[in-house]
Amino acid sequence: MIEKMSEKLKILFLCTGNSCRSQMAEGWARHLRSGDIEAVSAGTETHGLNPDAVRVMSEAGAEISGARSKNVGEFLDTRFDYVVTVCDKARETCPIFPGTAKIVHAGFDDPPALTVAIDDEEEKLDIYRRVRDEIREFVEGLPGNLEGK
């Protein structure tokens, strides 16, 4: 069983570009779980903040517009309890972290890739909303959702 009695659980949400899914995960953790989880997000590359991700998170009350896209290299000396890869490419290229950080994969669909050929704005945003809500459910279930992964 995962348990941290005296301090917050430190989690890094890692994706490829730190523009969408990992930003949503960090945003939900900060919005819903700031009392018991210290969350950051990063990417194996930086692609800037995805405006559609910002929009759907704001609709749900979790503001991420002030976030910035961060490279995982900024955190290689940081001790995390968990590094959660939220996309398959990040899972494949995840660097080694100091200490006892457990690497956990919790893959989510990639809204930018799924919506690249969609012209209808609402249809596009519905895909972002679905992924946003799946990530919220995952974050709400922490730390239990990290067990057995």
Catalytic annotation, pick one of 15, 57, 64, 127: 15
Catalytic annotation, pick one of 45, 47, 55, 94: 94
- Minimal CA–CA distance to 15: which of 104, 98, 113, 88? 88
| Catalytic (active site) residue 20 | no
Helix (H) or strand (E) holding 37: strand 37-43
The DSSP string of 41-108 is: EEESS-----HHHHHHHHHTT---TT----BGGGGTTS--SEEEE-SHHHHHHPPP-STTPEEEE---
Catalytic annotation, pick one of 49, 64, 67, 87: 87
Active site residues: 15, 87, 94
